[in-house]
Amino acid sequence: MEEFNLIFNRNHRMWKIPFGNSFVEFKESKELLSFLKEEVNIWKDNFIGNNSGLFQYYNNLYENLNNSIQSFSKTKNQSQFDSILNEIHYNIQNNDLIKFNSKTDLGMKVLFLNPQTQTEANAIMDYFRGNFNGNRLNKEYFSGYIKTLLLDNPQYFPGGIEEIFIKGKELNSEMQKSTFDTISKSNNIIEEFHKTLVEYKNSSDKEQAKQKKRIDDFEVSYKDKFSEVLFNYEEKLRISGRQNTGKN
């Protein structure tokens, strides 16, 4: 086994894995193999079982390491063993799924949420990985996302789902109040506008009445004056006619 570990730690290869709020470093291949085997069993029995991306991730790591150890035991091919170890090491250090092992805060939250469908599980992982897939948006996905949000931010929602429901009702009430205020203001504006129109109409009616009275007065006055002029003209004609008759 010593030979395994010499190759395992070759080229200052460090096998650091998130553990709790810190990291743990494995110095021996059998320790890492035991850790990976435990993760395989945990994710196989929880979180959608064999369909889980977490199960597949840890299972692939475990099988690759276990097979490479068994192969090296038979062939003693150090370069092949070293190459496989490099690949495993890269997948551990560069894949964020390692952060979801069952000994971390993220892993424990994922296990606690215990989704009932693959869609809900996808939502949980999307949330923790900082993603949101609009193409998956349906009731199950949204449910998984909201449950994860509540679990990950308890300081904002100490009352859990009930508080969300209450806040939703309060928001709806505020929206209704705002709507009613807007309608009320609109009605007031309409009433003011109607009042202005009535005043304008009344004013217009009064002006029209005044104008009509002026026209009527002018017509009466004009008729009186015209009658007077006509009478005077006719009177002059009669006088002029009598004078002409007397001369003849």
* The pLDDT value given to residue 222: 53
pLDDT in tens, 36-66: 999 999 999 888 877 789 999 999 999 999 9
Angle of the 139-152 helix axis to the 105-113 helix axis, nearest 10:
140
Domain boundaries along the sequence of the chain:
1-103
Would you give the DSSP letter of residue 76?
Answer: -
Q: pLDDT grade, residue 136 (50/70/90)?
A: confident
Report the candidate in 109, 23, 101 with the shortest Cα–Cα distance to residue 61: 101
pLDDT in tens, 167-212: 555 655 555 565 555 555 555 655 665 566 566 566 656 666 666 6
138 or 39, which is more confident? Answer: 39
* The pLDDT value given to residue 121: 92
* The pLDDT value given to residue 57: 97
CA dihedral 146, 151, 152, 157 (to 10 degrees): 80
CA dihedral 150, 153, 156, 157 (to 10 degrees): 30
Q: Is residue 81 within 8 Å of 5, Cβ to Cβ?
A: no
Q: pLDDT grade, residue 166 (50/70/90)?
A: low
* The pLDDT value given to residue 192: 60
Most confident range (mean pLDDT) of 26-30, 178-182, 194-198, 233-237 is 26-30
Question: How far apart are the C-alpha atoms of 127 and 110, rounded to whole Å?
Answer: 11
pTM beyond 0.75, yes or no: no
The full DSSP string for 108-142 is HHHHHH--SSHHHHHHHHHHHTT---GGG-SHHHH
What does the pLDDT average to over 27-33?
91
Q: Is the pLDDT of residue 160 over 70?
A: no
pLDDT in tens, 62-115: 999 999 999 998 999 989 999 999 999 999 999 999 999 999 999 999 999 988
